Structure 1
Amino acid sequence: MDLNKIHNIYFIGIGGIGMSAIARYFSANGKKVAGYDKVKTPITNSLEELGIRVHFEDGVKHIDLAFLNKEKTIVVYTPAVPSDHQELTYFKNNAYTVLKRSEILGEITKNTFCLGVAGTHGKTTTSAILGHIMEPLKATSFLGGISENYNSNLILGDDKVSVVEADEFDRSFLRLSPNIACITSMDPDHLDIYDKPDALQESFKEFAGKVTDTLIVAEGLPLEGLTYGFGDSAAYQALNIEIKNGGYFFHVKTPTRLIKEIEFYLPGRHNLMNALAAFAIADVYGVSSDVIKKQLASFKGVKRRFSYKVKSEKIVLIDDYAHHPTEIKAVEASVREMYPGKKVLAVFQPHLFSRTRDFIEDFANSLSKFDEVLLLDIYPARELPIKGVTSGWLMEKMTLQNRKLISKVNLSEEVLKSEADVVVMIGAGDIGLMVDDVKFRLEEKFSLLK
């Protein structure tokens, strides 16, 4: 496909985090971009500010006529869109060029030197760190989260080097052509897609086989490649780790040398692993250690990835996207490391009925590590309810005594009743939209409003 000959790009599900990055990219490159999404969000607002037209009612009559020119238009859709979507059905039935998000991303990056970041956990933060490291080299980075440094999920550079978050959902990452890639983790997830026990691992192995130059893997994964981690056998090993001023100070042993006095200010050992993965990719690519160190020290994080919303001696509020038991454990461990001895309240919104069902025991165990938990109803996303799978069922499985089911309506009131020192709001649904109200109410309660 010659993208230079395409004038119009129409997105179905344009407000998705991965879709919107590609929409921004094409808009910045002079293409006419428009799209549909189900609801108005801060992301769709930001797209509209760029001059991208977005509508929120499914129907061909809402599409600008320019995008109905079959020869000049391609249509991009996300797998999260239902198969009976009217607009998607129209484009498919009328022989338009219709591509999944992963397919168009593969087309954009196939002629670049592609740095890919895959894994069931850590890929968004790792790719954002790597994108920041590669920014002085003018790499273009497509991220699965909003980078705090750029307030965007796209870091626009030139067309020589790309950084791509390689998503395992729907086997999307198999559309990419990575030159250097890392795999951060291979924990079971997306069991609605990967219905056999070994299917997810096989998919990661297939992705690893597509890497043309160097594969980098977290220590302990059943893959051949350069390893990174905290163990002595890791090719890239973090050493002499200290916590100072809310950040990590450490050295990195590479296969050829020791890089000293590195600073990184994102809390949590899992984030230190993410930084180490990005370090390894950049080092293998050939970025100087001085540039890597400077960029790691100035990395501000990714929105909804251990994001501090309130940080005072009176109360701390943290917002995080964690929606898998392993991620919840990582958040809890990070809070304990940063705030030893403090009482921690978790407000959790489960994401997907199938994920809740498939990992019910692990969810119960990871949540029970907090001092107090408030549970919202399950966020359905693309799914219909499953009989018996509810937040009440999850609560029954938990061993923690101080737990409670709440509604969105009284969320802030319930948080205010707590005597916790640290509040973490976690989940991948619309809980992120409720954080600002909780922030305001806590700042009001503790007289922190300016």
Structure 2
Amino acid sequence: MNLKAIHNVYFIGIGGIGMSAIARYFSVNGKNVFGYDKTPSPITKKLEDIGVKIHFEDAVKNIPLSCLDIKTTLVVYTPAIPSTHQELNYFINNGFDILKRAEILGEITKTTLCLAVAGTHGKTTTSSILGHIMQPVKATSFLGGIAENYNSNLILGEDKITVVEADEFDRSFLKLSPNIACITSMDADHLDIYGENEMLQQSFREFANKVSDTLIVAKGLPLKGLTYAVNEDADYSAYNVKVGTGTYIFDVKTPTAIIKNIEFNLPGKHNMMNALAALAMADVYGIPLEDIKNQLKTFKGVQRRFSYKIKTENVVLIDDYAHHPTEINAVADSVREMYPNEKVLAVFQPHLFSRTKDFSDDFAKALSRFDELLLLDIYPARELPIKGITSSWLLDKVKVNNKMLVSKDKVSDQILKSVSKVVVILGAGDIGLLVDNIKDKLHKKYKN
């Protein structure tokens, strides 16, 4: 596809975190960008602020006249869009060029030196760290979260080097052509798409085979590549780890060198692993280790990845995107490491009926690690309900004495009744939209 011949890019599902990064990329590169999304959000507002035209009603009449030119218009859609979508069907029936998000990302990056981060957990934080490390060499980074350093999911650089988050959902990452890649994890997930874990594992093997230069993998994964680990022997190994208040200081052994006293300001061993993966990728590319060290020290994190919203003597509010048992366990590990003597309240919104069903026992064990639990209804996203799979059913499995179901409009009130010093908001649905209100009410409570 000749992207230079495209004047108009029309996004269906433009408010998605991955879609919006590509929309922003095209907009700042001089294309006319338009789109549909189901509801307004802070992401769509930011796009509108830079001139992107967005509407929120699925109707063919809302498609701008300029986008009806089949020769100059490209349509990009997310797999989360239902097959009954009127606008999508109009474009399909009239023969427009239509690409999934992963396909257009593949088109953008195929002529670049592409560094891709894959894995069922950790890829957003790892790719954001890597994008920050690669910023001095003017890499363009497409991220699956909002990097705090840039307040954006796009780090705009030049067109020679790209950093991308390689998403395994819908086998999307097989559309990429990575030169250097990392795989952080291969835990069972997306079984509504893959059917069984072996099919997911196979897709990661196929992705690994697409890497043209160097593959880097977390030690223990059943793949051949350079390995990385914390306090274990590996090609890239972090050791002499010292823990401060939310800060790690550690040394790293690479295949050719040792670098000492790296400072990294995100809590949790899983985040140290993410930093190590990004370091390894940048080192393979050729960034000097001292420059990598300097960039790691200044990395501020990713919104909704163990994001501190309040951090005072009286109360701590943390917001995290965790929606899989492994991710919830990682948050629990971090909280217990940072606040070993404090009571912790978790507020969790399950994401997808199928994921709740497939991992119910693991969810129950992970959620049982907190002192109190408020559980919201399951966020359906792209799914219809599954009979018998409810938050009440999941709550019965959780071994926490102080636990209850709560509606979104009552969450703040219940949090205010808690005696826990640490409050953790967890989930990948729309629970993130509640955080600012919770933050405001906690501020008011502890000012009195």
Report TM bin, short chain: over 0.9
For the aligned residues, what is the CA RMSD?
0.7
Q: SS of the residue aligned with 2:242? A: strand
Distance in 2 of aligned mates of 1:378 and 1:334: 25
Partner of 1:211: 211
Cα drift, residue 399 of structure 1: 1.4
Secondary structure of residue in 1 paired with 2:407: coil
Secondary structure (helix, strand or coil) at the match of 2:239 reads: strand
Q: Which moved more, 1:230-239 or 1:205-214?
A: 230-239
Q: What's the counterpart of residue 166 of structure 2? A: 166
1:308: how far off? 0.2
One-letter amino acid of the structure 1 residue matched with residue 305 of structure 2: R
Indicate the residue corresponding to 2:414 in structure 1.
Answer: 414
Q: Cα–Cα, structure 1 residues 363 and 245, in superposed 2: closer, same or farther, change >3 Å?
A: closer
Structure 2 distance, partners of 1:232, 1:31, is 48
1:126 aligns with 2:126: yes
Which amino acid letter does the alignment assign opposite residue 177 of structure 1?
S
Q: For residues 355 and 68 of structure 1, what CA distance do their matches in structure 2 show? A: 39
Partner residue, 1:55: 55
Partners of 1:443 and 1:272 in 2: CA distance: 31
Alpha-carbon distance, 1:291 to partner? 1.3
Q: What CA distance in whole angstroms lies between the structure 2 residues aligned with 1:288 and 1:18?
A: 30
Match of 2:243 in 1: 243
Whole-angstrom distance in 2 between the partners of 1:112 and 1:371: 48
- SS of 1:240's equivalent in the other structure is strand
Which AA in structure 2 matches 1:253?
Answer: K
What does 1:241-390 align with in structure 2 at a 5 Å threshold? 241-390=241-390
Cα drift, residue 409 of structure 1:
1.1
Deviations 1:289-315 (A, max 9, x none): 121011100000000000000001110
Counterparts of 1:31-50 in structure 2 under 5 Å?
A: 31-50=31-50
Tell whether 2:146 aligns with 1:146.
yes
Amino acid at match of 1:417: K
**SS at structure 2 position matched to 1:388:** coil
Is this contact kept in 1: 2:376–2:408, CA < 8 A?
yes
- CA drift of 1:400 comes to 1.5
**Residues 1:4 and 2:33 aligned together:** no
1:270-303 superposed Cα distances (whole Å, 9 cap, x missing partner): 0010000000000010001121011100000000
Instruction: Give, as a single letter, the amino acid of the residue that structure 2 aligns with 1:429.
Output: G
**C-alpha separation in 2, matches of 1:335 and 1:409:** 26
Q: Which residue of 1 aligns with 2:27?
A: 27
Indicate yes or no: 2:96 matched with 1:96: yes
- For 2:312 and 2:297, the matched residues in 1 are separated by 22
User: Distance between the aligned counterparts of 1:232 and 1:33, measured in 2?
Assistant: 48
Amino acid at match of 2:39: V
- Quote the Cα distance in structure 1 between the aligned partners of 2:228 and 2:334: 20
Work out the percentage of aligned pairs sharing the same amino acid.
Answer: 69
| Corresponding residue of 1:69 | 69
- The structural deviation recorded for 1:398 is 1.0
Cα distance in 1 between the residues matched to 2:67 and 2:73: 6
Gaps of 5+ in 2: none
Q: How many Å separate the matches in 2 of 1:196 and 1:412?
A: 38
Report the more deviating stretch, 218-227 or 231-240.
Answer: 231-240
* Helix, strand or coil at the partner of 1:189: coil
Partner of 1:198, secondary structure, is helix
Cα distance in 2 for residues equivalent to 1:73 and 1:388: 45
The one-letter amino acid of 1:4's match is K
Separation in 2, partners of 1:26, 1:73: 12
- The alpha carbon displacement at 1:231 in A equals 4.2
The answer to whether the aligner puts 1:220 opposite 2:210 as a matched pair is no
Q: Distance in 1 between matches of 2:17 and 2:439?
A: 24
In 1: Cα distance, 2:197 partner to 2:189 partner:
10
1:166-213 deviations in Å (ceiling 9; x for gaps)? 000000000000000000000000001111330000000000000000
Give the distance between the partners of 1:122 and 1:247, measured in 2 at CA.
18
Matches within 5 A, 1:423-434: 423-434=423-434
Contact 2:267 2:334 in 1 (8 A): yes
Cα distance, 1:421 vs structure 2: 1.0
Tell me how far apart the structure 1 counterparts of residues 297 and 432 of structure 2 sit (CA, whole Å). 27
TM-score of the pair, normalised by structure 2: 0.99
Deviations 1:98-139 (A, max 9, x none): 000000000000000000000000000000000000001000
How many correspondences in the alignment? 448
SS of the residue 1:293 aligns to: helix
Distance 1:421 1:235 in 2: 40
CA distance in 2, matches of 1:383, 1:392: 18
**Greater shift in the superposed pair: 253-262 or 108-117:** 253-262
- Contact 2:245 2:338 (8 Å CA) reproduced: no
Which residue identity does 1:12 align to in structure 2?
A: I
| Distance in 2, Cα, partners of 1:286 & 1:120 | 27
The answer to whether the Cα contact below 8 Å between 2:316 and 2:423 also exists between their aligned partners in 1 is yes
Q: CA deviation at 1:244?
A: 2.1
- CA distance in 1 between counterparts of 2:445 and 2:291 reads 43
Structure 1 pair 244–231 and aligned structure 2 pair: CA distance change class (3 A): closer
